[in-house]
Chains A and B, each alone.
Chain A
Amino acid sequence: MLEQKEGSQAVAEAVARCRPEVICAYPISPQTHIVERLSDLVRVGKIDPCEFVSVESEFAAMSVAIGASATGARTYTATASQGLLFMVEALYNASGLGFPIVMTVANRAIGAPINIWNDHSDSMSQRDSGWIQLYAESNQEALDLHIQAYRLAEELSLPVMVCMDGFILTHAYEEVDVPGQDDVDSFLPPYEPRQVLDPSDPVTIGAMVGPEAFTEVKYLMHAKQMQALDSIPRIAEEFESAFGRPSGGLVRTYRADDAETIVVALGSVLGTIEDVVDELRDEGVKIGALAIKCFRPYPLGEVREALEDARRIVVLEKAFAVGAGGIVGQNVRLALSGMPARVYDVVAGLGGRSITKRSLHALFEDVLADRLESGRLHFLDLNSEIVQRELERAGKGRTGPHAENMLRDLGIVAARSH
C-alpha cells in the first residue's frame, strides 16, 4: 500500500513484516525512530511473538543478537556511527560464526569530532568485517532491502548490514509502498538455522581455532561472501517479480550506456546526481551514473562492465581513508585496472555537509574541462582558506584543538576575550 512516511517508519514496517523474533537495540541518532516504532509494534502485539530487549550498549545489542540468532531466532538490530564502532568486536564475531543477523546502519559520521550528521565513515570502517553491505538510495529501497536482506542472510548464513543515509533518508518523508504481510511471508520463509543451540542435539559453537585450520575457515568466509555476488541479483530479481518494482541488486546504471563520463556513488546522493546528469544531458554532455548498491562483497565484474567504455570516472564518496585516499575510489580503480580511463576521487558530504546541484555542476564542469587532477583526492566545497590558516597555526606552541579554532574562524564560536 502506498503511504507517505518517514524513512525510519518505513524501515520499521519492513522489519515488522519480516517477523523478527528478537529485537535488541540501543538508541543512537539517527536510528532512534526505527527502534521506537518497533518497540511500539511489539508492545501492541503487531509483531508477535517477539522479544524486544532494551540493551545497555551497542556491544550488548550485537551480543544479544548473537545469542538469539544462535538459538534459532530471526534477529534484528540497528545502529550508527559510534554505536557501530562500539560493537565492532561483536560484528566480527557474528560474521565469523556465521549468524544471519540483519542490521540497519543509519549512516552517520564517526567522531572525533563528534558529529551526528550523515556520511559513510561508519559503514565504510567496517567493510572488512565480513558483513554483507547493501546501500539504499531511497526510503523505498531501504524498506525493500531489509526484506531481501533476511532472505540473503539466511540463505548464506551470513550477517547483512543495510545502510541508509542518516537524516537524509531516515528523517525524510516520502512515498513508499509498504508490502502486505502475506506477500512478505511468501517471499521470506521462516528461518531454518544451519547451526542452533538445542539440547536435543548439542553443538559447541565458538571454539578456538589454531594455525592448523584458521586459514581454511577464513577462506570459507571469503568464498561464502563471494557467493553473495550470485545470490544478490537472483534475490533482487525474485523481489521484482513478487513486488513489482526493481530494488537492490549489485549495481545500477543511469544513462551510462554511451556515457563518456560516469559518476560513481553510493546511497541517497544518487538522486541529486541523476538530476544533474539529466540537466547536463540536456546540454549534450555524454554523462551517466553508476550506483553501487552492494559494496561488500565487491561486485568487481559488474563495476568494470559498467565503466569500461567511459573515458572519465568521477567517484563521489562520503568517506575516505585518512592518510591514503578514497575508499570507493580505490575499489573502482581495482575494477578498472589495465584500462585507460581517468579516475577522479572526490570526497563530499562529510559530516552532513549538503551536496548541492550547483556544486556538482561545477565539479563535473571542472572534470570535463580537465581542470581537476586525477589521482589526487579532492574535497568538494572545501574551505581552503580556513584550512590554510590552521595549517599555518600548527607548530606554533599551544594552538588548541583544530575544530574549535576553525569554528572560531567561521564565526560560529565566539572568540575568547583577552
Chain B
Amino acid sequence: MPYQEVKLYQAGTFVVGNRLLDPDQRSVQARSERSNTLTSGHRACQGCGEALGARYALDAAMRATGGQLIAANATGCLEVFSTPFPESSWQLPWIHSLFGNAPAVATGVAAALKVKGRPDIRVVGQGGDGGTVDIGFACLSGMFERNDDVLYVCYDNEAYMNTGVQRSGATPPGARTATTKPVGGTPGNEFGQGKNVPLIAMAHEIPYVATATVAELRDLEYKVERAMEFRGARYLHVFVPCPLGWGSASRDTIRIARLAKETGLFPVFEAEQGEVVGASKIRRAVPVEEYLKLQRRYAHLFGPDGHPNVIERLQKQADRNIRRFGLLASTEEGGELPGAK
C-alpha cells in the first residue's frame, strides 16, 4: 500500500490535510472531478457508514475504470435509500434485481459485456452483509468459483438493518439485534463468530480479496483501484458502522470504524490468490472495550448485570486476529511502521 512521508504539524490528528500532499496523491474524494457516483439527495441516515463506503468505493472504481462501470446492487439499505421512486442517486448504470442474486446478476452483466466485446466496461456487484454472507452466499460462491470478472463489494454493518436490525450471519458474538436481544439472561448474539467471508473468498483462490473500513479513505480507495487492476473474481469487504442499528452516535461512525481496526476486531488486509500479501498495521492495540462502549448494542455486556466473559471472548478474538494476520506494527523488527518505504 502506498504511503507518502509527511511532516505532521498538528498533533493528535490522524488525518493528513490535502494541502500537505502532492496533488497527484490526493484522494479521489478530494478531487473536484470525482464522479459523485452516489450523489446527494439519497435517504440514508445521518452518519450512515454504508453511504460513505459506497461513495468512496464507487468513486474510486469510476476513476480506475475511466467511468466505464456498471453496478448490480442487492436489496438492502443501500438500494432502498438510493432509489426512492421516482428518484435515483446513481450516476452510473445500475440495476437492482433481488436480495440474494446480486453476485449472479453481476455475473450476467459481465458475461454480456464479454460477448459484446467490451472488456473496457467493468462490473461491480454490491450488497450488505445479509445479501452477501447469507441469502446471496451461494451466488457469491458460484461467482468466485467461475472466476467471473466482477468486483463484489460487501458493506458489512453486521445485521439486517433495512428490515429493522435483525441478526445476520455476520453479526458478531454478544451483539444485540432485534432477534438476539439480551433477555432471559442471554448475552445477545451468543452463537457464531460472524461468518468470515474474506477468508472464505480466499479459500476460493480468487485473484484479489481485501478488507477495509470507512475510517481509512485512502486505504479503501487504493484497494478498489488495486482490485480493478485484476481480471476475474475480486472481493472487497468494507466495515461500515450503522448508527441506528448499533446505537452509536452518528458523529462516531468513522471513529468506531477506526477502533474496529485498532482493536484487531476487524483485520484490515489484502490477499492475492488465497494468500495474505499485506496488512494495515496497528500501532498500538486498543482494548476492545474502547470500541464496544461506544455502541448501545453492546451496552448489556457492561455494568452489574454485564457479561465480562463475552467481552473477554471478544478480546481473545481480537488478539487472535492480531496474531493471525500479524497486525501489530513492530518497531523492533524495524521498517514496519506505516509510512516506511
User: Which positions in A face B, CB cutoff 8 Å?
Assistant: 21-22, 24, 49-51, 53-57, 59-60, 63-73, 75, 89-90, 93, 97, 197-199, 201-210, 212-213
Q: Which of B140-148, B246-254, B274-282 is the interface stretch? A: B140-148
Identify which of B67, B79, B96, B105 contacts A64 (C-beta below 8 A).
B105
Contact assessment for A70 and B117 in the assembled complex, using a CB-CB cutoff below 8 Å: no
Minimum CB distance partner of B66 in chain A: A199
Given A199-B92, A203-B93: A67 and B105 interface contact (C-beta under 8 Å): yes
Cβ contacts under 8 Å, B94 to chain A:
197, 202-205
B1 within 8 A of A: no
Given A71-B113, A204-B90: A60 and B96 interface contact (C-beta under 8 Å): no
B88 within 8 A of A: yes
- In the bound complex, what is the Cα–Cα distance between A243 and B117 (angstroms)? 32
Show 24 A/B contacts (Cβ-Cβ < 8 Å), sorted by A.
Answer: A51-B115, A53-B107, A53-B108, A56-B139, A63-B107, A63-B108, A67-B95, A67-B104, A67-B106, A67-B107, A67-B111, A68-B108, A70-B112, A71-B70, A71-B112, A197-B94, A197-B95, A199-B69, A199-B121, A204-B95, A205-B96, A206-B73, A206-B97, A207-B96
A-facing residues in B78-94 (Cβ within 8 Å)? 79-80, 83-86, 88, 90-94
The count of chain B contact residues (Cβ–Cβ below 8 Å) is 46
Encoded as 1 (CB less than 8 Å from any A CB) or 0, chain B from 33 to 55 comes to: 00000000000000000000000
Contact assessment for A59 and B100 in the assembled complex, using a CB-CB cutoff below 8 Å: yes
Cβ contacts under 8 Å, B108 to chain A:
22, 24, 53, 63-71, 75
B98 within 8 A of A: yes
Cβ contacts under 8 Å, B96 to chain A:
205-207
B202 within 8 A of A: no
Cβ contacts under 8 Å, B113 to chain A:
71
B19 within 8 A of A: no
Contact assessment for A67 and B88 in the assembled complex, using a CB-CB cutoff below 8 Å: no
- In the bound complex, what is the Cα–Cα distance between A289 and B46 (angstroms)? 67
- In the bound complex, what is the Cα–Cα distance between A53 and B113 (angstroms)? 13
Cβ contacts under 8 Å, A67 to chain B:
72, 95, 97, 104-112
Contact assessment for A60 and B98 in the assembled complex, using a CB-CB cutoff below 8 Å: no
Given A63-B97, A93-B97, A203-B93: A73 and B115 interface contact (C-beta under 8 Å): yes
Cβ contacts under 8 Å, A89 to chain B:
98, 100
User: Which positions in B face A, CB cutoff 8 Å?
Assistant: 67-70, 72-73, 79-80, 83-86, 88, 90-98, 100-101, 104-117, 121, 138-139, 141-142, 145-146, 148
Cβ contacts under 8 Å, B146 to chain A:
53-54
Contact assessment for B67 and A199 in the assembled complex, using a CB-CB cutoff below 8 Å: yes
Minimum CB distance partner of A73 in chain B: B112
- In the bound complex, what is the Cα–Cα distance between A90 and B93 (angstroms)? 20
Given A199-B70, A213-B85: A51 and B139 interface contact (C-beta under 8 Å): no
Minimum-distance CB pairs A-B, first 8? A67-B108, A56-B142, A206-B96, A63-B101, A63-B104, A71-B112, A73-B112, A207-B83
Contact assessment for A64 and B104 in the assembled complex, using a CB-CB cutoff below 8 Å: yes
Contact assessment for A72 and B112 in the assembled complex, using a CB-CB cutoff below 8 Å: yes
Cβ contacts under 8 Å, B104 to chain A:
55, 59-60, 63-64, 67
- In the bound complex, what is the Cα–Cα distance between A67 and B67 (angstroms)? 19
Cβ contacts under 8 Å, B80 to chain A:
208
Contacts A67-B72, A71-B109, A207-B84 supplied; 14 other A-B pairs, CB < 8 Å? A21-B115, A51-B111, A64-B105, A64-B107, A64-B108, A65-B108, A67-B97, A67-B108, A90-B101, A205-B96, A206-B83, A206-B96, A207-B83, A207-B85
- In the bound complex, what is the Cα–Cα distance between A213 and B84 (angstroms)? 12
Minimum CB distance partner of A22 in chain B: B111
Shortest distance between the CB of A44 and any CB in chain B (Å) = 17
Given A66-B108, A73-B116, A213-B86: A97 and B138 interface contact (C-beta under 8 Å): no
Cβ contacts under 8 Å, A210 to chain B:
85
